[in-house]
Amino acid sequence: MTANPALHPAGDGLRPLTGGCLCSSVRLRAAQRPQRTLACHCTFCQRLTGTAFYVESIFPIDAVEFEGGEIRTFEHVSDTSGKKVYVHFCARCGTTLGLTFERWPEIRAVSRSCFDAPGDIAIDAHIWTRSAQAGVVLPSGVDCFAESRYASGGRAEAVPTRYRAPIMASDAP
């Protein structure tokens, strides 16, 4: 197996991560590695994706560039924080490219599956596991948060659980 050059040092630092939407109308480029990558099991992300969870790679807001086709934005008000979450998607094919947040204006979440090599970006934590759908398995050795990774007020980190063996989400404490 060949190592992905986007994830390994090049002569002048790390090469950018690249990706795009389903129709290739919109392309993206991240000039650095994500700060972290989260699998979110909240009900908003379940509806957003039409599946069990959403995997998002977190970057500083200005670390990701988009080019090509039109990007549209859908505005949603979070039922937990009351703050706006902005969903950015390709106007042509509807692919969710990522999210930005009123609550955290300095960060951008990029849909991990939009990267050309999404499997090369590890998931650092699972969040909102209390909302995980039946049949979802939470992995061992990875931080799992019943709710947000952040405690109330969005400042301090909440305390994670790490399972010794994979566990069905429905069996998680």
The parts of the chain modelled with pLDDT lower than 70 are: 1-15, 151-157
CATH of 26-171, one of 2.170.150.70, 3.40.50.620, 3.40.50.300, 3.90.180.10: 2.170.150.70
What the block records as the tokens of 54 is 């959403």
Q: Give the pLDDT of residue 170.
A: 85
pLDDT digits (tens, 9 = 90+) for 66-80: 999 999 999 999 888
CA distances, 32 to each of 7, 19, 29, 105, 130 (Å): 9, 13, 9, 18, 31
Percent of the chain with pLDDT over 70: 87
Kindly list the domain boundaries of the chain, sorted by start residue. Answer: 26-171
Nearest to 109 by CA among 119, 117, 121, 100: 100
Q: What is the pLDDT of residues 127-159, one digit of tens each?
A: 999 999 999 999 999 999 988 887 555 555 678
Q: How far is CA 55 from the centre of its chain?
A: 4
**Residue in the structure block whose two tokens are 């999404």:** 118
What is the reported pLDDT for 157? Answer: 67
Predicted local distance difference test score (pLDDT) of residue 20: 97
Cα-based angle 41, 47, 48 (whole degrees, multiple of 5): 90
Position 5 scores a pLDDT of 40
Question: Can you name the residues that pair with 167 across neighbouring β-strands?
Answer: 138
CA distance linking residue 63 with residue 44, whole number of Å: 25
